[in-house]
Structure 1
Amino acid sequence: MNLENREEENGKSFTDECNKVLMAVSDALYAVGGKWKLMIIIAMARGNKRFTEIQRQVVGISARVLSSELKELEANGFIIKKVTNGYPVSIDYELLPYSQTLEEVVGAMTRWGIQHREKIKSEGRK
């Protein structure tokens, strides 16, 4: 029946669309997911450029984890590591222009996080 064919077509296109969405979200989570990556980018956007500055600003992150996350952010084109020779050697991390593509994401997550915290507080949870 024609209606059944339409449902099959709609189901297939829905599945294709769903797969596209899932793949896009998966790619985004791979690039900036986890507990620390966006927090590191936010700290860097606020002027923290050195490893110890970033570690102090992102409370709770260990040096080992920060080092690993910085390498992943560099591999994904969000930051660059700049080494200045001299004594002592100086290492700074800088945001690349591509990191600005996360502004809307960070803004949306900030708004949602504030909203969610208020919801939890109003329900008497911590």
Structure 2
Amino acid sequence: MENSIFTYRRRIVKAALLRHLRKTGGNAIVIKLPKGGITTIELTEIVMDGLLSRFELLARGEAETTKGNETIKDIYYRSLDVNGHGEYLTETGKLLVDALISEMVTYAKNAGIGKEAQK
């Protein structure tokens, strides 16, 4: 079970980064801070993997580990599809990735990450 979750996570990371690159032309997210100023967060494989790992921990915490793993595997399975050009995110995958990125941006704003950009 863990191996299939790991494989799906790796595929989602790659598809999400490719989607973001096609959508924005880069891998950075520009964040406007509440007290003025801006900062950027680089969206890398490590960051995306961390976001998905955090999602998995929350899913396992909501349900028991076995049921949580089944839920994660089902969500990940529905998040990816394949066409002639490779793997891509389905609507479920887009919603998942966008929610995780949005949560990261909100955290960055509230935690004051990038205070050096305000100085």
> TM-score, normalising length from structure 1?
0.31
| Structure 1 or 2: more strand by fraction | 2
Q: TM-score, normalised by structure 2?
A: 0.32
Structure number with the bigger relative contact order (C-alpha 8 A, sep ≥ 6) is 2
